[in-house]
Amino acid sequence: MSLLQELQDRSGNQCELCASKENLNIYEVPPISTGGVDGSLLACETCIGQIENPETTDANHWRCLNDSMWSEFRAVKVVAWRMLSRLKKEGWPQDLLDMLYLEDEDLRFAKETGEGLEESEKIIHRDANGAILQAGDSVVLIKDLKVKGSSMVAKQGTAVRRISLDHENAKYIEGKVGPTQIVIITDYVKKMSEKE
């Protein structure tokens, strides 16, 4: 069974956020560590568009979270928490946030994108050229790096895909080089464009 079929079965073939039955797509919840059924949800174009482009967010559309935030599925609860956090200045989302319960691990996952923090509180990761790095981005090493605790050297030009960010330190990101998960200092990477 494909991921799309599993999500359609789970959701009754409707958006797991607003219950729309139109223009449904798989939405992988960033930063994509698990993907698959646990890290994805079925959502309509409207919801996905507003999640990915905060400036297009229509607060009234998200009143649907009053229902969907009670979902038993982690991906749905995490996205509900993020959108309610984004909209909390509206007033009513804060009331829903106060009622929403997430397990510690799910709450950590929900906070990984920095949603809900004021701009001044967010830790911003930048590559060697000053480009902002997001969780899930791909980067290229711009110099050879010795991997601490091993004899491995990650070569200049190595692509590191789907990075995750350290939320305590703006200089650290994590990613896989071959089978090994390593911590990389942002000064030694360049963000890859979509085409690369």
Question: Is residue 117 predicted with pLDDT exceeding 70?
Answer: no
Percent of the chain with pLDDT over 90: 45
Separation CA 170–CA 66 (nearest Å): 34
pLDDT interval class at 47 (50, 70, 90): very high
At 155-192, the pLDDT tens digits run: 899 999 888 888 778 888 988 888 888 889 899 999 98
| Residue ranges covered by each domain of the chain | 3-111, 123-191
Separation CA 66–CA 100 (nearest Å): 10
At 66-81, the pLDDT tens digits run: 999 999 999 999 999 9
Question: Is residue 116 predicted with pLDDT exceeding 70?
Answer: no
Look up residue 129 and give its two tokens. Answer: 């050229």
15 three-class SS: coil
Query: At residue 154, what are phi and psi to the nearest 5 degrees?
Result: -85, 120
For 133-158, what is the mean pLDDT?
Answer: 86
H-helix segments, the chain? 3-11, 45-52, 65-68, 74-86, 92-99, 104-111
Separation CA 71–CA 133 (nearest Å): 31
Residues ≥6 apart with Cβ < 8 Å to 195: none
Look up residue 101 and give its two tokens. Answer: 């319960």
Question: Is residue 118 predicted with pLDDT exceeding 60?
Answer: no
Q: Quote the CATH superfamily of domain 123-191.
A: SH3 Domains (2.30.30.40)
Q: Give me the chain's average pLDDT, please.
A: 87
pTM of the model: 0.61
Look up residue 150 and give its two tokens. Answer: 């091993």
The answer to whether the peptide bond before residue 54 is cis (omega within 30 degrees of 0) is no
Question: Is residue 95 predicted with pLDDT exceeding 70?
Answer: yes
Cα–chain-centroid distance for residue 60?
A: 23
Residues ≥6 apart with Cβ < 8 Å to 120: none
H-helix segments, 87-138? 92-99, 104-111
